[in-house]
Amino acid sequence: MKKFILIVVTVLSTLTLSAQKKNYTLEECVRMALEKNINIKQTELDIDNARNDQWVAKQAFLPNLNVQSQHIWNNGLSQNITNGLIENLTTQFSSLGASAGVTLFNGRQNFNQLYRANLNVLARQYQLDDIKDNTSLFVANAYLQIMFNRELEQVQRYQLELTKAEYERTQNLIQAGVLTGSDLYDIEANVAEREQALIQAENAYRLARISLAQLLLITDYENFDIAEEDFAIPFSEILNETPKSIFNKALSFRNDIKLGETNIEIAKKDIDLAKGNLLPSLNAFYSYNTRISYSDRSISSGVLEDFPIGVVRSSGEVVVTQVPQREVVGPLPFGDQFTQNDGHSFGLSLNIPVFNGSNARSAIKRSQINLERVQNQLEQTKLTLESNINQAYNDASGAFKVYEATQKTLLAREEAYKVAQNRYSAGVMNSFDFIIAQQRYQIAASDIVRAKFDYIFKLKVLEFYFGLTLNAK
């Protein structure tokens, strides 16, 4: 039973480790970075804000509508309509009103604001795409760094095995009397140096994996690695292009260029908005209000009665007048009150700016200055882009030549090493000279790995400026 449980636990552990182990392709790493990058998420929120501003700008074309309602209690001294006396009374009434307005003309401010809002959404999208492009290039660089360190580790491991084999062969040659015992110490020291170089390569490989994992917000460093991909390294057709042609093409699709151009359009629209404050505005309005009362009413009963108003001095005759009798009744039905107590108002409102402390003209000046600023920024962006493309072109072209040179060097050092092996085995070369030949071969093997990935990355940078997709093909 215990043995069975142990087997089950072992199998489950193996399955868990297998499930956790994941080798990522470059495409997967780029996609993950784009999904998790904080700057990208922040820029996406900026786009949401810009779209909200766009929605608000659209609402400016619609009329505004407001509804008001209130209920009031009056408590305190007031005249009682039933007896005419001043008493502490509580009365209440309700009121209801609505108002609407629409802008007929405001110097095209609503059109300009909507156009600006549309441009701002577009600018934020260009900004997001530019961040994504730079993030992709950054991830590709980190990915290539892992590939470089992994291949360099493999080279160092092979060189160590090769040196160990030379150590065993030296022992056999000493036993055969071809070499002396002192030669073994030199080879043994060389083995130790190769072991140290392998440890350094392993650490560099691990640190490169951790660096990319951190970039992708992956915390399980130990189970993170990249897939076994291979980048083609032949001469790229892009090097047949000129830096000027690459630059001209980059101007047509680079998001930082499109962002700069859009910012100029936004700045121009800001000038139009500022100038609109100098123009008159015309608005139409309409309002409706009514009220109802909950208090009793004093109304005429239709019956006239005599009411004394004075006395004739000569005759003492009382002078009277007829006034209608009053009676107290309840309030009118609420429906009748709404129709009888309503009121309407409508009209046009014209506002002509005459003097506002030069605020409008100052705003125009600031907008004009900002236009010059963003124009200069775009020009600087173009200059920087052209400089980067020239640098990338020269770097890629030079790296390819270095790679070709290291290939020749490696072939020569390998042949020299083979000759040294034969001479060393024949006893006509001492261990010191043999180790020198071996180390030169080892250095050349490391150099070609370094030259290979240096060329690949610089080529990918150049292809990035040319609009080509970052991949391992």
pLDDT at 108: 87
Residue 232 burial by Cβ neighbours in a 10 Å radius (0-12, 13-18, 19+): exposed
Res. 9: pLDDT tops 80? no
Strand (E) or helix (H) holding 72: strand 64-79
Q: By the 8 A CB rule, do 66 and 97 touch? A: no
- In the DSSP assignment, the letter for residue 236 is P
* Structure confidence by residue, pLDDT tens digits, 131-161: 999 999 999 999 999 999 998 999 989 889 9
User: Residue 107's pLDDT band (boundaries 50, 70, 90)?
Assistant: confident
Helix boundaries (H) for 347-358: none
User: Residue 19's pLDDT band (boundaries 50, 70, 90)?
Assistant: very low
User: Residue 6's pLDDT band (boundaries 50, 70, 90)?
Assistant: very low
Q: Which two tokens stand for residue 382?
A: 């173009």
Res. 5: pLDDT tops 50? no
Res. 105: pLDDT tops 70? yes
Res. 357: pLDDT tops 70? no
User: Residue 1's pLDDT band (boundaries 50, 70, 90)?
Assistant: very low
Res. 4: pLDDT tops 50? no
Q: Any residues with CB less than 8 A from the CB of 322 and at least 6 apart, and which? A: 304, 305, 306, 307
Residue 416 burial by Cβ neighbours in a 10 Å radius (0-12, 13-18, 19+): middle
CB atoms within 10 A of CB 9: 10
Amino acid in position 158: Y
Per-residue H/E/C for 282-326: EEEEEEEEEEEECCCEEEEEEEEEEEEEEECCCCCCEEEEEEEEE
pLDDT at 85: 62
Class of the CATH-defined domain 23-61+106-280+352-466: mainly alpha
Res. 82: pLDDT tops 60? no
Rounded to an integer, what is the distance from CA 242 to the centroid of its chain? Answer: 33
Mean of pLDDT values over 292-310: 71
Q: Which two tokens stand for residue 308?
A: 């004394």
Res. 371: pLDDT tops 90? yes
Q: By the 8 A CB rule, do 142 and 211 touch? A: yes
Mean of pLDDT values over 340-362: 84
User: Residue 328's pLDDT band (boundaries 50, 70, 90)?
Assistant: low
pTM of the model: 0.77
Q: Any residues with CB less than 8 A from the CB of 7 and at least 6 apart, and which? A: none
Residue (of 210, 213, 215, 211) closest to 38 by Cα position: 215
Residues 146 and 449: their CA atoms lie apart, in Å, by 12
Residue 119 burial by Cβ neighbours in a 10 Å radius (0-12, 13-18, 19+): buried
Per-domain boundaries in the chain: 23-61+106-280+352-466, 296-330
pLDDT at 423: 87
Residues 110 and 59: their CA atoms lie apart, in Å, by 9
Residue (of 230, 194, 199) closest to 26 by Cα position: 230
Residues 119 and 127: their CA atoms lie apart, in Å, by 12
Res. 11: pLDDT tops 80? no
470 versus 376: the higher-pLDDT residue is 376
pLDDT at 16: 40
Residues 378 and 386: their CA atoms lie apart, in Å, by 12
* Structure confidence by residue, pLDDT tens digits, 283-295: 999 999 988 877 7
Residues 138 and 211: their CA atoms lie apart, in Å, by 11
User: Residue 195's pLDDT band (boundaries 50, 70, 90)?
Assistant: very high
User: Residue 263's pLDDT band (boundaries 50, 70, 90)?
Assistant: very high
- Averaged pLDDT score across all residues of the chain: 84
Q: By the 8 A CB rule, do 47 and 138 touch? A: no
Q: Any residues with CB less than 8 A from the CB of 402 and at least 6 apart, and which? A: 451, 454, 455
How much of the chain exceeds pLDDT 90, in percent? 43
* Structure confidence by residue, pLDDT tens digits, 387-444: 999 999 999 999 999 999 999 999 999 999 899 888 888 888 887 888 888 888 889 9
Res. 12: pLDDT tops 50? no
User: Residue 470's pLDDT band (boundaries 50, 70, 90)?
Assistant: low
Strand (E) or helix (H) holding 246: helix 243-253
User: Residue 17's pLDDT band (boundaries 50, 70, 90)?
Assistant: very low
